[in-house]
Each structure stands twice: as C-alpha cells, then as structure tokens.
Amino acid sequence: AEERLRQAQKMQAVGQLTGGIAHDFNNLLTPIMGGLEIIATMTAEPRTKSLASNALEAARRGAKLTGQLLAFSRTHRLSTSAVPVNDLIGGMQDLMRHTIGPEIAIKLALDPACGTAQADPNQIENAILNLAINARDAMPDGGTLTLSTARETIADDGELAAGDYVAILIADTGTGMTPEVLARATEPFFTTKEVGKGTGLGLAQVYGVAHQFGGTLRIDSEVGVGTTMRILLPAATTATEAVATAAETPLLDGH
Ligand code: ADP
C-alpha cells in the first residue's frame, strides 16, 4: 500500500510538472527544430551541417519527451464504453505489423468468451501499442509477440474489487527483467534504456490508465525467457460502479 501511495504521489507530481511546462516547452521546440532543419539543409559547410543535424536530433528527442508528458497528463479524461476487446485487437493488426517490424512474429490467441471491457477504446489501444513497442525493444534479435485475451473472475485481492475482468495479455520472448527492474518497472521515469530511447513513462501510463478504469497492469517476467504484460479491465456488465468512482478521483492533476 505504501508503494502504491508513493507511485500515486509521483504520478501526481508528473501531472503537475506537465501542466506547468510541457506545453510551453513544445511551443519553444517547434521554431528551434524548424530553424535547425533549414540550417542543416541549406549550409554547404560540413561542420555546420553536422552540428545543426545533431542539435536537430536532440530537439526531436525533446519534442518526443514533451509529447509523452502531455499524453500522460491527459490520461485522467475518461470516456468509457463497452469495448469489444477481441475486435479492438483484431482491428489493430496492420498498425501492429508496421510498428513492430518484420523480424518479430505476431500470434493471436483471442478467447471468444472474453466479452467486453468497460473502458475507453482509444486509451486501451494506446496501452496495447505501448506494451507491444516495449516487447519489440526487448527482442532485438527477433522473437514472438503473442496477443491473447481471457475472461477472469477475481475475488477481492486488495487491489481489485471482486468481479469479472477482461484480461489482455501481451507476451514476448525477449530479454525479460531482473527482479530489481521488475519491482520498479511501472515507476514514472524509471527506464533502463539509453537517453533518448526511453522516457520511463510507458508502463506508468498503462498502469495509470488501467487503474482509472478500475483495473490494473500485472507483469510476469523472467530473464532470458520473456515477459508477459497483463492488462486487467472490469468486464462491462459489472464495471459501472468502479468507473464512476474512478471518474470522481482523477489520478493526475493535469491541466
Ligand atoms: P521505457 O520503455 O521508456 O524505458 P517503460 O515505462 O515503458 O519506459 O518501461 C520501463 C522499463 O521496464 C524499461 O526501460 C525496461 O527496462 C523494462 N521493460 C518494459 N517492458 C519490458 C519488456 N517487455 N521486456 C523487458 N523489459 C521491459
């Protein structure tokens, strides 16, 4: 519980930070990138060209970071409906293929009995894509990404209310995580990736989104074997109360 409070406080801090600076920062980066792009293409002087290209690359990384921060602060805006999860995943296949690239096999194992989840389809699609990108990053030499769904009945376990849940599993055959990394994986800004490659906001965002719908994100991972990410969302029929409560208490104080 203490851990969860610490996490909520951190997310609150991220929300405030975002509201304060990310927007202005993005507006500043636009003319910087525009100017650098012109310098990089117009100059005939190789050293100037290389300096401008490097600076442009750094500005692009900055824009990506502020973009993620902005997306993060928006997660408190809830619009829920009964989401047919299998159809949603089925409809993402082209997008998934393009995002993941040809080196990784994609398998589907959708349970026809999984039913509908009470959630926002756009946010869930985003969450699945986020997890798929992490899976790809964990399989630099190729591997298999398995997307599956299931229906689960959960007794009150301290985190989730008792009831029916729809599970979305994103499993990879990648590097896996050490227990230390696993313990911190959903913390905002926790990343093991190089500067510019990871922001450490992906899992925190997925976790936050799932929680706002009365669900959660659970992770199983073993070094050298792979990782299974499990998004649990309340099934549409039993979710009404949990969602109403979540809507009244936004996790993030975005602006
Ligand atoms: P980012 O991807 O920007 O680093 P995330 O919050 O998405 O941020 O992930 C945090 C960390 O969790 C990653 O840096 C990585 O160490 C670990 N991680 C996430 N997904 C996976 C995965 N599928 N396999 C192995 N490690 C993972």
Please report the ipTM that was assigned to this predicted complex: 0.98
Give the C-alpha separation, 227 to 43, whole Å: 47
d(CA 238, CA 81): 13
Q: Ligand 1 centroid vs 191 CA: distance in angstroms?
A: 6
Give one DSSP letter per residue of 84-100, joined into a string: EHHHHHHTTHHHHHHHH
Q: DSSP 3-state helix, strand, coil percentages of the chain (rounded to 5)?
A: 50, 20, 25
Average of per-residue pLDDT across 153-169 = 93
Distance CA 108, CA 129 (A): 14
Confidence check: pLDDT of 74 > 70: no
The rounded Å distance from CA 250 to ligand 1 centre is 25
CA of 80 to the centre of ligand 1 (A): 27
Considering only CA atoms, which residue is closest to atom 7 of ligand 1? 202
Binding pocket residue ranges, ligand 1, CB within 6 Å: 134-135, 138, 172, 174-177, 181, 185, 190-193, 198-204, 227
Per-residue pLDDT at 27: 76
Q: Which atom of ligand 1 is nearest to the CA of 205?
A: 6
Express each pLDDT in 216-237 by its tens digit: 999 999 999 999 999 999 999 7
Please report the atom of ligand 1 found closest to the CA of residue 172. Answer: 23
User: For the segment 75-124, what is each residue's pLDDT rounded down to a tens digit?
Assistant: 555 678 999 999 999 999 988 888 888 889 999 999 999 999 999 888 89
**In the predicted model, is pLDDT for residue 186 greater than 60?**
yes
Tell me how far apart the alpha carbons of residues 225 and 231 are, in angstroms, rounded to a whole number: 20
Distance 9 CA to ligand 1 centre (A): 21
What pLDDT, on the 0 to 100 scale, is given for residue 248?
43
**Is the pLDDT reported for residue 253 higher than 50?**
no
Residue 137, classed as helix, strand or coil, is helix
Handedness of CA 118, 72, 20, 60 (dihedral sign): negative
Contact predicate 113/152, CB 8 Å: no
Please report which confidence band the pLDDT of residue 195 belongs to, taking 50, 70 and 90 as the band edges: confident
Ligand 1 centre from 148 Cα, in Å? 20
Q: In angstroms, what is the span from residue 220 Cα to ligand 1's centroid?
A: 13
Residue 246 predicted with pLDDT over 60: no
- What backbone phi and psi angles, to 5 degrees, belong to 148? -135, 165
Residues 6 or more apart from 242 whose CB is under 8 A from it? Answer: 118, 161, 163, 213, 214, 234
Q: Which atom of ligand 1 is nearest to the CA of 191?
A: 14
User: Could you tell me the two tokens for 30?
Assistant: 């636009």
C-alpha to C-alpha distance for 221 and 154, rounded to whole angstroms: 21
Higher pLDDT, 31 or 70: 31
Residue with CA nearest ligand 1 atom 21:
134
Quick one: tokens of 78?
Answer: 């809830």
How many C-beta neighbours within 10 Å does residue 122 have?
A: 11
